[in-house]
Amino acid sequence: MSKYLEIPEFDQDISFRTFLHDGMAITYPHVHKEIEIIYILKGRLNIGVRDEIIELQKGEVYFFSSGEPHFFLASPGSERYVWQFDLKIFNETLLGGNLESLFELFEKSEPCSRSWPKDFTEKFIHLLMDAYYTLEEKKKGYNYYLTGLLNQVVGLMYQQIPERVTKIGQKNSSEMKYKETLDQLNVIFDFVEKHYDEPLTLDEVSSKIGFNPHYFTRFFKKNTGQTFMQFLTEYRIIQSKFILANEKLPMVDVAERAGFSSVKTFHHVFKNHVGISPLKYSKKMKK
80 exposure class (CB count in 10 Å sphere: 0-12, 13-18, 19+): buried
Any bridge partners for residue 269, and if so which?
A: none
Residue 4 has pLDDT above 80, yes or no: no
| Beta carbons of 46 and 26 less than 8 angstroms apart | no
50-92 tens-digit pLDDT: 768 899 999 999 999 988 888 888 888 999 999 999 998 998 8
| Beta carbons of 233 and 261 less than 8 angstroms apart | no
What gap in Å lies between CA 140 and CA 118, rounded to an integer? 33
Which of 87, 82, 57 shows the shortest CA–CA distance to 70?
82
Amino acid at 169: G
CATH number for the domain formed by residue range(s) 173-287:
1.10.10.60
CATH architecture of 4-160: Sandwich (2.60)
Vertex 75 angle, CA 71 and 80, to 5°: 75
| Beta carbons of 13 and 28 less than 8 angstroms apart | no
Which of 263, 226, 259 shows the shortest CA–CA distance to 242?
259
136-151 tens-digit pLDDT: 999 999 999 999 999 9
Residue 12 has pLDDT above 70, yes or no: no
| Beta carbons of 228 and 217 less than 8 angstroms apart | yes
What gap in Å lies between CA 159 and CA 155, rounded to an integer? 7
Vertex 285 angle, CA 284 and 287, to 5°: 70
Q: Where in the chain are the domains?
A: 4-160, 173-287
| Beta carbons of 46 and 69 less than 8 angstroms apart | no
- CA distances 168 to 68, 108, 271, 285, Å, are 10, 7, 45, 44
> Which helix (DSSP H) or strand (DSSP E) does residue 209 occupy?
none
Confidence of residue 37 (pLDDT cuts 50, 70, 90): very high
What gap in Å lies between CA 207 and CA 211, rounded to an integer? 6
What gap in Å lies between CA 197 and CA 261, rounded to an integer? 9
pLDDT for residue 238: 84
Q: Average pLDDT, whole number, for the chain?
A: 87
Q: How many CA atoms lie within 13 A of 101 on its CB side?
A: 7
Query: If you compute the radius of gyration of the chain from its CA atoms, what whole number of angstroms results?
Result: 20
25-29, 99-103, 123-127: which range is least confident on average? 25-29
